Amino acid sequence: MAMSQSPLTEQQALYQYTLRMADNALILGHRLSEWCGHGPFLEEDIGMINTALDLLGQCRMLYSYAGEVEGKGRDEDDLAYHRDEREFTNFLIVEQPKGDFAYTTIRQFLVDVYNLYLYTDLCESKDQTLAAVAQKAIKETRYHVRHTAEWVKRLGDGTEASHEKMVTALDEVWRFVNEMFEMDEVDQLMLDAGIGVDRAKIKERWLTKVDEVLSEATLQRPVESYTRRGGRQGLHTEHMGFLLAEMQYVQRCNPGLAW
Amino acid sequence: MVEQYLPLWEVFVRSKRGMDHKHCGSVHAADSEQALQYARDVYTRRMEGNSIWVVEAKHIVASQPDDQQAFFEPSDDKVYRHATFYDVPADVKHM
């Protein structure tokens, strides 16, 4: 295929690129926050919500920057609370319902490890703002991985019941993982500009780390079967609309409300 | 529901370099790594510290209320053991 001129400008690609990372952080953080007051016990409840708050903090920095790059005067709240489902660009994996604690744990672990290498590489970005966001986020992410990896091992190598639940959760979530490593036009443009990361390189390290923890947890990585994709094009699973309805409710009813 | 309680761990946090670790509370956790993580999550999320110790509560040997007389009362009339007869220079902190 002949190289065709990309219809995207670098500014448009940077906006999309930043927005996607913000959407992933917001939606994953929201799913985690659904455990608030429902954690398996008090200490873990607080621990999970700390992570949810870290993700919320990351999405705020990214939304603010996306709004700035876009240049249409939209702020973090406009982007988080006044866009519709088809305009959200997060991966399908982060919008899946929280499920049981095994599902939440394995999904969080897989995305935490992805974030670990994403932010590690993004620290080298030529875009000063993204590099600064990554440098802040990487510290938080290292802790998130440490926390969820412990739980994967504890549950996988725990009782027969906890092991079974982890096997089921892993099988259930696996069809969503590969979307995180697919490069599209926006990714390529950002990579060529020295701003974005190479997802193939992230995947290599992701697999090594995931395999290492799964093996300690006496769990096996499922074989890659087929990949569900579409999040970045705004084609979401049936759960996304319900999530947004709840998350955006207050701002939709009272636009601009502050407290 | 958790019907069986996890072991209790006592948490000590050092607020600043050079200061000592102070007892600040306790957490339930299955092992030392988890206890350390929960201590971090529960007690240091508002910049309270830069170092944490955790110790399983069962390893702490404590004096009992019954020990009061034998342990502490004998020192009541020995004020000379306190260094109160010296002027502490103004620059000395945390005495």
- DSSP-based helix, strand, coil % in chain A, nearest 5: 70, 0, 30
Q: What are the chain B neighbours of A146 within 8 Å (beta carbons)?
A: 37
**Does B82 have pLDDT greater than 80?**
no
Average confidence score pLDDT of chain A = 96
Determine the pLDDT at residue B46.
82
Tally Cβ neighbours within 10 Å of residue B53: 14
Cβ–Cβ gap A43/B33 under 8 Å: no
Which chain A residue has the Cα nearest residue B29? A43
Per-residue CA distances from A185 to A4, A6, A55, A180, A203 (Å): 11, 8, 26, 14, 18
| Contacts across the A-B interface (CB distance below 8 Å) | 29
* Facing B45 at nearest CB: one of A40, A44, A50: A50
Determine the pLDDT at residue A214.
98
Model confidence band, residue A1 (pLDDT cutoffs 50, 70, 90): very low
pTM for the structure as a whole: 0.90
Q: Is B46 on the interface with A (CB under 8 A)?
A: no
Cβ–Cβ gap B33/A154 under 8 Å: no
Instruction: DSSP for A152-221, please give it.
Output: HHHHHTS-HHHHHHHHHHHHHHGGGTGGGG---HHHHHHHHTTSS--HHHHHHHHHHHHHHHHHHTT--P
Q: Is B30 on the interface with A (CB under 8 A)?
A: yes
**Does A2 have pLDDT greater than 70?**
no
pLDDT digits (tens, 9 = 90+) for A128-146: 999 999 999 999 999 999 9
Cβ–Cβ gap A42/B28 under 8 Å: yes
Q: Is B34 on the interface with A (CB under 8 A)?
A: yes
Which chain A residue has the Cα nearest residue B39? A43
pLDDT digits (tens, 9 = 90+) for A20-54: 999 999 999 999 999 999 999 999 999 999 999 99
Q: What are the chain B neighbours of A47 within 8 Å (beta carbons)?
A: 37-38, 41-42
User: Which has more pLDDT, A6 or A161?
Assistant: A161
Mean pLDDT of A62-75: 97
Domains parsed from chain A with CATH numbers: 10-253 (1.20.1260.10)
pLDDT digits (tens, 9 = 90+) for A172-218: 999 999 999 999 999 999 999 999 999 999 999 999 999 999 999 99
Domain containing B44: what range? 8-61
For chain A, list residues whose CB is within 8 angstroms of any CB belonging to chain B.
40-44, 46-47, 50, 143, 146-147, 150, 154
Are A98 and A243 in contact, with CB atoms under 8 Å apart?
no
Task: Please list, in sequence order, all residues whose beta carbon lies within 8 angstroms of the beta carbon of residue A200, skipping any fewer than 6 positions away.
Answer: A181, A183
Strand order from edge to edge, sheet including B22-28: B22-28, B8-14, B51-56
Cβ–Cβ gap B37/A154 under 8 Å: no
CA atoms of A53 and A58, how far apart (whole Å): 9
Domain at B16, CATH number? 3.10.20.520
Share of chain B above pLDDT 70, in %: 96
Handedness of CA A90, A92, A94, A99 (dihedral sign): positive
Chosen from A41, A140, A150 to mutate, greatest number of chain B CBs within 10 A: A41
Determine the pLDDT at residue B85.
75
pLDDT digits (tens, 9 = 90+) for B24-73: 999 999 999 999 999 999 999 887 888 999 999 999 999 998 888 888 88
Q: What are the chain A neighbours of B37 within 8 Å (beta carbons)?
A: 47, 146-147, 150
Tally Cβ neighbours within 10 Å of residue B55: 15
Decide if B50 is inside a domain.
yes
- Is A188 buried (19+), middle (13-18) or exposed (0-12) by CB count in 10 A? middle
Q: What are the chain A neighbours of B38 within 8 Å (beta carbons)?
A: 43-44, 46-47
Decide if B48 is inside a domain.
yes
How many domains does one find in chain B? 1
Model confidence band, residue A256 (pLDDT cutoffs 50, 70, 90): confident
Task: Locate A102 and state its tokens.
Answer: 């095994």
Are B21 and B13 in contact, with CB atoms under 8 Å apart?
yes
Task: Please list, in sequence order, all residues whose beta carbon lies within 8 angstroms of the beta carbon of residue A34, skipping any fewer than 6 positions away.
Answer: A98
Q: Is B37 on the interface with A (CB under 8 A)?
A: yes
Which chain A residue has the Cα nearest residue B35? A43
Instruction: DSSP for B9-70, please give it.
Output: EEEEEE-STTSPPEEEEEEE-SSHHHHHHHHHHHHSTTS--SEEEEEEGGG-----GGGHHH
Cβ–Cβ gap A43/B41 under 8 Å: yes
**Does B94 have pLDDT greater than 60?**
yes
Determine the pLDDT at residue A172.
96
Are A110 and A43 in contact, with CB atoms under 8 Å apart?
no
Are A100 and A85 in contact, with CB atoms under 8 Å apart?
no
CA atoms of B95 and B87, how far apart (whole Å): 12
